[in-house]
Structures are given as structure tokens and as C-alpha cells.
């Protein structure tokens, strides 16, 4: 097993590495993948190695004559495609190239404000988990549940 880095950035997967991996998985060859990607074999190998380090798992089994996909590697192919598709949609949205459909399932600003207001009054229901996630992301390590009785997380310094 590959040791996972303790770096906080290790939790983020590099999109360059995610773009490289499915090509290696499809060709089962670093050389063929490098040719398709117009990159050097060493660069492709480095991308895969960095991705494996980031997730802390071997994604490929390699020897001098062959490359095979591990079960985790098969899972990563699917995750890589989903992550890259989501990344592309987000980039297109923020570039003004697309609009979110009304039924996208993503919250709108008014919905978030409603949930946060209701939560502040001690109400619960659909969206409470979203509100907690938003507040947790805003608060980061600065606020803990013991800091504000009755409120799991309260952003400080707002």
C-alpha cells in the first residue's frame, strides 16, 4: 500500500492527474497513454504516482512487461470522470457559458438564507444538513460545538 501524504492538499485530487489516469487505464500502457496525451512517458508515470499518493492506494499493478488495473483503479476511473465532468460544468457555469436548470438540486441563495434563518430559530427539517455544512465550511477550525451551546457551529468574526 502507498503511504498517504499528511499534507492538507493531499485531500484534493489534481485534475491533471485525473485526466491522465483514465487514458492509462484504457491503454494499460504508460507509453501508449503518453502518445495519446502528447506527453512524455515519465510525465504520465509521475501523474499516476502522484494520484496514487494522494489517495493512498495502488491504482495499477505494474511490472516490466504489463500494467493492470486494481479494483481501486477501476473505481478511480469512474470517480475521475465524474470529478472532471463536474469541474467542467462548474467552469462553464462561472464563465457564463451555461445556466443551472431549476431542477439541478443545487440550492439557490434564497433557499440557503431560509434554511439558515430557520436553523437560527432552532427549527429543523430539510436543508438543516446543508446549513450545517455551509456553516462548518465558513467556520473552519475556528468554531466548535462547545463555543456556542445550542448551535453546532457558529462562524466567528462575522
| Residue 3 and residue 56 in contact, taking contact as beta carbons nearer than 8 Å | yes
Q: Which CATH number fits the domain that encloses residue 35?
A: 1.10.10.10
Are both 70 and 139 inside the same structural domain?
no
Overall domain count for the chain: 2
Distance of alpha carbon 83 from alpha carbon 76, whole angstroms: 10
Co-location of 20 and 43 in the same domain: yes
Asked if the structure places residue 157 within a domain, the reply is: no
Measured CA to CA in angstroms, residue 65 lies from 1, 62, 148 at distances of 21, 8, 60
Report the C-alpha gap between 57 and 46 in whole angstroms: 15
Question: Residue 50: which H helix or E strand, with range?
Answer: helix 41-55
Nearest to 82 by CA among 24, 11, 9, 22: 22
Q: How many CB atoms lie within 10 A of CB 73?
A: 21
One domain, residues 65 and 124: no
pLDDT of residue 156: 42
Let me know whether 20 and 68 are in one domain: yes
- Per-residue model confidence as pLDDT tens for the chain (158 residues): 455 555 544 568 999 999 999 999 999 999 999 999 999 999 999 999 999 999 999 999 998 889 999 999 999 999 999 999 999 988 998 898 888 777 666 665 555 555 555 555 555 655 566 666 666 665 555 544 444 444 444 444 43
User: Are 74 and 115 contained in the same domain?
Assistant: no
Tell me if 142 is assigned to some domain: yes
Is 100 contained in some domain?
Answer: no
Q: Which residues pair with 92 in a beta bridge?
A: none
Same domain, 56 and 122: no
What domain range is 71 assigned to? 8-94
CA 24 to CA 77: how far, in whole Å?
10
Model pLDDT, residue 75? 95
Q: Is residue 158 part of a domain?
A: no
Pair 43, 74 in one domain? yes
- My answer on whether 123 and 71 are in the same domain is no
| 120 is a domain residue | yes
pTM of the model: 0.59
pLDDT at 12: 85
Quick one: 115 and 89 in the same domain? no
| 3-state SS class at 103 | coil
Amino acid at each position: 500500500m502507498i503511504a498517504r501524504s499528511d499534507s492538507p492538499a493531499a485531500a484534493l485530487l489534481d485534475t491533471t492527474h485525473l485526466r491522465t489516469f483514465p487514458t492509462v487505464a484504457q491503454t494499460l500502457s504508460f507509453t501508449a497513454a503518453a502518445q495519446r496525451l502528447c506527453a512524455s512517458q515519465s510525465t504520465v508515470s509521475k501523474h499516476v504516482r502522484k494520484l496514487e499518493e494522494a489517495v493512498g492506494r495502488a491504482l495499477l499493478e505494474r511490472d516490466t512487461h504489463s500494467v493492470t488495473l486494481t479494483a481501486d483503479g477501476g473505481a478511480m476511473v469512474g470517480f475521475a470522470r465524474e470529478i472532471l465532468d463536474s469541474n467542467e460544468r462548474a467552469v462553464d457555469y462561472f464563465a457564463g457559458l451555461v445556466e443551472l436548470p431549476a431542477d439541478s438540486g443545487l440550492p439557490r441563495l434564497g433557499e440557503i438564507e431560509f434554511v439558515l434563518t430557520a436553523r437560527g430559530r432552532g427549527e429543523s427539517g430539510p436543508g438543516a444538513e446543508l446549513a450545517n455544512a455551509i456553516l462548518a465550511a465558513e467556520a473552519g477550525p475556528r468554531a466548535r460545538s462547545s463555543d456556542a451551546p445550542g448551535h453546532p457551529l457558529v462562524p466567528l468574526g462575522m
